[in-house]
Structure 1
Amino acid sequence: MTISPVRLVLFVLLVGLLAWVGFDLVADQRDEARRERNSAQVEVKGLREAARISGEMLAARDAIDQMRTQELNDEKDKNLGLQRAVDAGSQRLFVKATCPAAVPTDSGAGRVADAGTAELAADARSDYFTLRDQLALSRQMILGLQDHILQVCQR
């Protein structure tokens, strides 16, 4: 059994064509894999940069929070010290008050002599200290938000 030269040439051409198609298919797959790899590397680089920036922003936010929390705690301690001093009687809370220049001169009931400067009533003191604490909290919150906007958001 001999193979004719025409059949041999056709067989060799067919095998060569199949090899070329197979090689072309593998080359296309290789090129597609390289493109996917390159796009993945670019995406990884972008994600690493985003993670680095996010980490820096979180660190800045935490530093602002720690600073403002410490200032708030200091202000609350100062208010508590003042409250204890007022309760102990070593300090007084004075109210800025003025009397009208013209005092009516009626000869009715007798008047009490000027007892000195006006002082905050004892039942209003707790409200005063609560308001001071809330004012300190509001102030630190506002300053913290301003710092966050300036140092973190506007980067």
Structure 2
Amino acid sequence: MTISPFKAALIAILITALVPMYWFIRVVDQRDEALEDVRGLNAEVVGLRQAARISGEMLAERDAIDQRNTEELTDARTENERLRRAVGDGTGRLHVRATCPAFGSVSATPGTARVADAGTAELAADARPDYFSLRDELALTRQMVLGLQQYALGVCQRSSAHQGTTFPNLNERKKP
């Protein structure tokens, strides 16, 4: 069977028209896939930028908490050292709040000899360094507890509040 030249020319024109159309459709599909990938990557970039901003804010807050508590601890230790020097050189005294019981070892009967009030009770000289060491440790412990509370309330709770929402599109990226 022979094909007329007119049919052959028509077939050639159709093939010539269909091949570029096939390639055009294929390029458009590839472009659409690339645009979808770009949209996904843009959403991921937005999530990563937000995560970086939040991390930066949390680090700044942690550093501010540390700075504030370190300053307060330094001030408390400086004051304690000033008191220690004042007691050591005699310009200050370390008093202990104490009371003597009216009953017990002291006789309450009239006419018996009693010891007159000798003055304010005071720590023995060998116990004074321990007192100031305890004050130092108390100041340190107080600042550590306050710092941890502030960190837990300001930084840790904030990070758990953003958990799961910081990177919404991180694992949704299409795999080729």
Question: TM-score range, shorter-chain basis?
Answer: 0.7 to 0.9
Q: What RMSD in Å do the two structures reach over aligned CA positions?
A: 2.5
Runs of at least 5 residues in structure 1 that lack an aligned partner in the other structure = none
Are 2:101 and 1:90 aligned?
no
The separation in 2 between residues aligned to 1:21 and 1:124, in whole angstroms, is: 96
The list of structure 1 runs, each at least 4 consecutive aligned residues, that deviate by more than 4 angstroms after superposition, is 110-114
Give the corresponding residue for 2:161.
Answer: none
- Contact 2:66-2:147 at 8 Å conserved across structures: yes
- Contact 2:106-2:114 at 8 Å conserved across structures: no
The separation in 2 between residues aligned to 1:8 and 1:75, in whole angstroms, is: 100
Are 2:133 and 1:130 aligned?
yes
- The alignment partner of 2:123 has SS state of coil
The separation in 2 between residues aligned to 1:59 and 1:133, in whole angstroms, is: 28
Give the corresponding residue for 2:13.
Answer: 12
Give how far 1:43 is off: 1.3
The separation in 2 between residues aligned to 1:67 and 1:15, in whole angstroms, is: 78
**CA displacement 1:113-150 (0-9 Å, x = unmatched):** 65332211222222211111111111112222333344
The separation in 1 between residues aligned to 2:116 and 2:102, in whole angstroms, is: 16
Give how far 1:10 is off: 2.2
The separation in 1 between residues aligned to 2:53 and 2:26, in whole angstroms, is: 40
TM alignment of 1:1-155, pairs within 5 A: 4-102=5-103, 103=105, 105=107, 114-155=117-158
**CA displacement 1:3-58 (0-9 Å, x = unmatched):** 93323322332233322221121111100000011111111112212222222222
Runs of at least 5 residues in structure 2 that lack an aligned partner in the other structure = 108-112, 159-176
Give how far 1:154 is off: 4.6
Bigger helix fraction: 1
Which of 1 and 2 has higher RCO (CA within 8 Å, sep 6+)? 2
- The alignment partner of 1:17 has SS state of helix
The one-letter code of the counterpart of 2:145 is I
The separation in 1 between residues aligned to 2:10 and 2:88, in whole angstroms, is: 113
Which range is displaced more, 132-141 or 31-40?
132-141
- The alignment partner of 1:92 has SS state of coil
The separation in 2 between residues aligned to 1:121 and 1:111, in whole angstroms, is: 23
The separation in 1 between residues aligned to 2:36 and 2:100, in whole angstroms, is: 86
